[in-house]
């Protein structure tokens, strides 16, 4: 009874692999390491380096490890990149999942958990946003994920598969023991950028738009700690194993913090007063994005442990400081070699 995690060497995938292993699950990972890191995986977890859309590879892994469930993280995640390269995003998100589902159907996989995103909502009519509102993505990234949701729904109905679609809001923070975190170069996550500024890796942080009709004029987001999100995946798996029906669930805390509040939290926990530059609004930015979390709380046995902006900022900072120390040690090692 093994769980296949695609993209398990990435930011969210690696936290989920860790949560599953700590809960006693047998896990196998397929990841092409395009943005992931093999070092994020516990040693005992087999890693197959390859594409989640490679049907021969995945079919072999499923047979060899007697996989019964799939948690699918593999994909491309940067919204502005998807504007520049839409076909690349439809290929790596939508088409890769089509191939993965093709294998899953052939192998009679009965449970599938998919990483979707709040980007499927576009500019929501209602905030906090519930799952049933119309989806109107504003980027190829959001569209590629929505297309995948539709495809998964159709495949599950036709082939007796059960699924949970988790629509992540703003994922942030790092493993509380700093074993994994966000390490991708050029990551666009606000808290990541803020901790890079706090550790002296950036001269300043830009805030796009301070004239929104919000309490402090900046945009509002629902930040969820990556460890709580990992636990939501473990809970989703238990839910499906317990016979739960296919369902789509928002993954956030249901509480919004402004961009300026998030920056202040990083300043407070770091004790460093890095520069903030106010810039005009960016086209396409959504003013307020906060999850209605009633459905996930009613459906899954899931109690968030880190629902606190300062804790999220502290864990993100501790991870970033570790990355900086490791990079400095590498430079010193290279210099002395």
Q: Is 97 helix (H, G, I), strand (E, B) or coil?
A: helix
CB burial string 267-277: b at 16+ within 10 A, e below: bebbeeebebe
d(CA 320, CA 324): 6
Host H or E run for residue 48: strand 47-49
Q: State yes or no: is 239 an active-site residue.
A: no
Q: At its nearest, how many Å lie between ligand NAD and the CB of residue 72? A: 7
Query: Applying CB under 6 A, does 131 fall inside the site for ligand NAD?
Result: no
Query: Applying CB under 6 A, does 13 fall inside the site for ligand NAD?
Result: yes
d(CA 33, CA 39): 11
Q: Is 140 helix (H, G, I), strand (E, B) or coil?
A: helix
Catalytic: which of 141, 212, 239, 306? 141
Query: Applying CB under 6 A, does 306 fall inside the site for ligand NAD?
Result: no
- Beta carbon nearer to ligand NAD, 252 or 318: 252
Omega cis (within 30) before 128: yes
Query: Applying CB under 6 A, does 260 fall inside the site for ligand NAD?
Result: no
State which of residues 3, 4, 52, 289 lies at the interface with ligand NAD (CB under 6 A): 52
Query: Applying CB under 6 A, does 249 fall inside the site for ligand NAD?
Result: no
State which of residues 27, 62, 68, 92 lies at the interface with ligand NAD (CB under 6 A): 92
Q: Do residues 12 and 106 touch, judged by C-beta distance below 8 A?
A: no
State which of residues 69, 115, 143, 288 lies at the interface with ligand NAD (CB under 6 A): 115
Residues that contact ligand NAD, how many (by CB under 6 A) = 29
- Beta strand pairing call for 47-49 and 162-168: unpaired
State which of residues 171, 205, 249, 289 lies at the interface with ligand NAD (CB under 6 A): 171
Q: Which residues contact ligand NAD (rule: CB under 6 A)?
A: 6-7, 9-13, 30-36, 51-53, 73-75, 77, 92, 96, 115, 117, 168, 170-171, 184
């Amino acid at each position: 009874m093994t769980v296949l995690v695609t993209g398990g060497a990435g930011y969210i995938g690696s936290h989920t692999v860790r949560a599953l292993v700590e809960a006693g699950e047998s896990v196998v990972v397929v990841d092409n390491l395009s943005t992931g890191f093999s070092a994020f995986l516990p040693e005992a977890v087999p890693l197959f380096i390859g594409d989640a859309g490679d049907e021969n590879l995945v079919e072999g892994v499923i047979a060899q490890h007697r996989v019964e469930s799939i948690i699918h993280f593999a994909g491309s995640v940067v919204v502005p990149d998807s504007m520049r390269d839409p076909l690349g995003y439809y290929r790596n998100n939508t088409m890769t999942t089509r191939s993965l589902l093709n294998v899953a159907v052939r192998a009679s996989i009965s449970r599938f958990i998919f990483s979707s995103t709040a980007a499927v909502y576009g500019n929501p009519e209602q905030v906090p946003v519930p799952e049933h509102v119309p989806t109107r993505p504003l980027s190829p990234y959001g569209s590629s994920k929505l297309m995948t949701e539709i495809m998964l729904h159709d495949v599950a109905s036709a082939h007796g598969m059960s699924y949970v679609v988790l629509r992540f809001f703003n994922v942030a923070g790092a493993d509380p023991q700093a074993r994994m975190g966000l390490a991708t170069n050029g990551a666009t996550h606000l808290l990541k950028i803020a901790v890079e500024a706090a550790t002296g890796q950036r001269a300043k942080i830009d805030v796009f738009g301070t004239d929104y009709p919000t309490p402090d004029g900046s945009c509002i987001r629902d930040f969820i700690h990556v460890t709580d999100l990992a636990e939501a995946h473990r809970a989703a798996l238990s839910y499906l194993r317990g016979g739960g029906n296919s369902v789509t669930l928002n993954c956030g805390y249901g509480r919004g913090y402004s961009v300026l509040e998030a920056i202040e939290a990083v300043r407070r926990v770091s004790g460093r007063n890095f520069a903030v530059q106010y810039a005009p609004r960016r086209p396409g930015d959504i003013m307020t994005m906060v999850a209605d979390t009633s459905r996930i709380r009613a459906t899954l046995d899931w109690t968030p442990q880190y629902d606190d902006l300062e804790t999220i900022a502290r864990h993100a900072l501790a991870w970033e400081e570790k990355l900086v120390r490791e990079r400095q040690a590498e430079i010193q090692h290279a210099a002395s070699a």
